[in-house]
Structure 1
Amino acid sequence: MIRWGWLFVLGMLLAGCTVLPAGGKPDRPHETAIRQPEAKPLPKDIHLVALGDSLTEGVGDGEGKGGYVGRLIPLLAAEDGVRTVTVTNAGKRGRRINELEPVIRAHQAELERAHIITITIGGNDVMNVVRSHFFDLSYERFANESQRFAERLDHLLLLLRTINPDAVVVLIGLYNPFSTTLPNIPEIDDVIVEWNRASNAVLSRYPRTIFVDIQDMFADRDDLLHRDEFHPNAAGYELMAMRIYEALDARKEWWAN
C-alpha cells in the first residue's frame, strides 16, 4: 500500500509540470503583429493671394488663362492633400511699390487666411526711372532707386508679417525686357541683377519667404514676350508658373501640411 501511495503522489506531481521545449521556455500561442495604417493628412483648402502689377494681372496672356496666377492654380490643386485652391488676384497694370500698401490693407481679411502670397512688383519702378530721366539715364540713378525700393519692400513685408505670420510669401524677381528699348544703358542687365539682389536680401530677413529669379528665363528670349515687348506672352507665363510652382513644391511643408 505504501508503494502504490508513492506512485500516486508521483503521478500527481508529474501532471502539474509543464513540458518545456528545447529552448527552455514554455510554448505560447502564435502572435501576429498588426500594423496600424499611417494616418494621411486631411485634405486642405489652399488660399492664395496674388499682389502686384500687370504680371499678376496677366497682361499679355493671349490665351486668356490669367497669366502665371491662372496657370499656378491647377499645379497646386494637383498636389496630394490639396482639396481646393481659391485665389484673390489683386494685380493691376502700372502699379508701383509705393501704391501697394493700400492694396494690402484693403485685402487684409483675405491675407489673414492666406497660405500663399505671391508678389510681382518693381518693373514699373524701373520704367519710372526711365521716364523721369530719359535724357540723362545712368547706372547710379537706377542704383539709388533700387535702394529706395528695398526700403519700401522691407516696410511691406513687415506689414504682411503683422497681418499673417505664417503664410509663404513669394516674391517674383524682375527680368530684362529693355534690351531694345534702352540701348543707351548697356548696363541694364546689371541694373536688374542688382535690383533683384537687393530685393532678395530684404526677403531673407523674414521667415517663410521665397525669392523666385526669372531673369535667366527671359534672357535673349523675345519669343516669350508679348508684342508690346514688355509683358510675357502665354508661353512666358507658362514658364513663370512652373518655376514658381517648383519653388513652392520644394517648401511644401510650409503651406500644404
Structure 2
Amino acid sequence: MKRWGWLIIWSWLLVGCAAFSAGGKLEHPNEAAGKLLEAKPLPKDIHLVALGDSLTEGVGDGEGKGGYVGRLVPLLSAEEGVRTVTVTNFGKRGRRIVDLEPVIAAHRKELGQADVIVLTIGGNDVMNVVRSHFLDLSRERFRQAREMFADRLDHLLISLRTVNPDAVVVLVGLYNPFSSTLPNIPEIDDVIAEWNSASRAVLSRYDRTIFVDIQDIFIDRDELLHRDEFHPNAAGYEQIAMRVYEALDQQKEWWVGSLLQ
C-alpha cells in the first residue's frame, strides 16, 4: 500500500508541475497544448503557378531541371513550415505580354489556388521592336513600346488580382543578351534598365508584389548564356532562381507566414 501511495503522490506532483505556466499561474492542459501547437505549426503545402515566356518554360537549360522555376522548388521546400511545393507551369516560348490574358482566362482555377505566381515576360516584346525596326532602331521606338508594355502589365495585374487577391506575384525583370548583336544601339543596356524601371513602377501599385532585377547578373557574363546567345543556360537559370528565392525570402511572411496563421 505504501508503494502505491507514493506512486499516486508522485503522479499528482507531475500533473501539478505540467499544469502551471512559467509565471506560476494554473493552466488548463488543453490551453498548454494549444500554445504548443501555436508555437510550432504544422507544415503546409505551397502551390506555385508560373506564367510567361521561354524563360519560364526553361528553354536553354541543358540540365533539364526546368529552368529557374524548377530550381526554385528545393529552395522553397527547405523553408521551415513548408511541407511540399507543387508547380504548375504555363510558360511557353515566344509569348509576349498580349498573349498572357488568354492564359489567365483559361487557367483561372489553377491561378485562384496559387500561393505564389512567378512571371517572366517582356523579352519578346523588346525583340519585336528590334525585328520590326532593325534598320531604324532608336530610343524613341523602345520608349513607345515600353509605355504600351507597362499599360498592358497594369491590366495583367488587375486580371491576376481579380482571380487571386492574395497570392504573391513575382515578376522577373529583363536582362540584356543583345550587346554583341545590336551594335547600332549602344544604349541597349539603358533601354533594358528603363524597361525594368517601368515594370517595377507598375508593380509598386499593387500589394504583395515583388520585382526581381536580374540585369546585373548577365553583364559581361556570356558563360551564363545558352549557345543561342539569348536564353540562359543551366548556370544562368541557377543564378536567376537564387535571386528570386532571395527576394521571396525577404518577404517570407507573405507566402509562408500567412499559411501558418
Give the TM-score category using the shorter length.
0.7 to 0.9
Deviations 1:71-113 (A, max 9, x none): 0011111111111111110000010000110011111100001
Whichever residue aligns with residue 81 of structure 1, its letter is G
Partner residue in 2 for 1:251: 251
Equivalence map 1:227-246=2 (5 Å): 227-246=227-246
Partner residue in 2 for 1:34: 21
Partner residue in 2 for 1:220: 220
Whichever residue aligns with residue 141 of structure 1, its letter is R
Is there any run of 5+ residues in structure 2 with no aligned partner, and where? Answer: 1-15, 23-31
Whichever residue aligns with residue 78 of structure 2, its letter is A
Please tell me whether residue 50 in structure 1 is matched to residue 50 in structure 2.
Answer: yes
Q: Helix, strand or coil for the counterpart of 1:64?
A: coil
CA distance in 1, matches of 2:126, 2:254: 32
Q: Helix, strand or coil for the counterpart of 1:62?
A: coil
Partner residue in 2 for 1:118: 118
Larger Cα-atom Rg: 1
Q: Helix, strand or coil for the counterpart of 1:210?
A: strand
Shift of 1:40: 1.4
CA distance in 1, matches of 2:210, 2:81: 22
Shift of 1:34: 3.1
Q: Helix, strand or coil for the counterpart of 1:80?
A: coil
Partner residue in 2 for 1:72: 72
Please tell me whether residue 185 in structure 1 is matched to residue 172 in structure 2.
Answer: no
Partner residue in 1 for 2:29: none
Partner residue in 2 for 1:209: 209
Deviations 1:160-215 (A, max 9, x none): 00110100000000000000010100010010000000000000000000000000
Shift of 1:39: 2.6
Partner residue in 2 for 1:176: 176
Q: Helix, strand or coil for the counterpart of 1:195?
A: helix
Deviations 1:32-61 (A, max 9, x none): 653444531221110000000000000000
Partner residue in 2 for 1:107: 107
Q: Helix, strand or coil for the counterpart of 2:39?
A: coil
CA distance in 1, matches of 2:169, 2:75: 18
RMSD in angstroms over aligned alpha carbons?
Answer: 1.3
Q: Helix, strand or coil for the counterpart of 1:87?
A: strand
Partner residue in 1 for 2:89: 89
Runs of 4+ in 1 over 2 A off after TM superposition: 31-39
Q: Helix, strand or coil for the counterpart of 2:256?
A: coil
Partner residue in 2 for 1:13: none
Deviations 1:207-243 (A, max 9, x none): 0000000000001100100000000000000010011
Whichever residue aligns with residue 198 of structure 1, its letter is A
Q: How many residues align?
A: 228
Deviations 1:105-125 (A, max 9, x none): 111100001000000000000
Higher helix share: 2
Please tell me whether residue 132 in structure 1 is matched to residue 119 in structure 2.
Answer: no
Whichever residue aligns with residue 256 of structure 2, its letter is A
Partner residue in 2 for 1:165: 165
Which segment is superposed worse, 39-48 or 189-198? 39-48
Whichever residue aligns with residue 238 of structure 1, its letter is E
CA distance in 1, matches of 2:106, 2:182: 36
Whichever residue aligns with residue 21 of structure 2, its letter is I
Structure 2 length-normalised TM: 0.85
Deviations 1:130-170 (A, max 9, x none): 00001000011001100000000000000000110100000
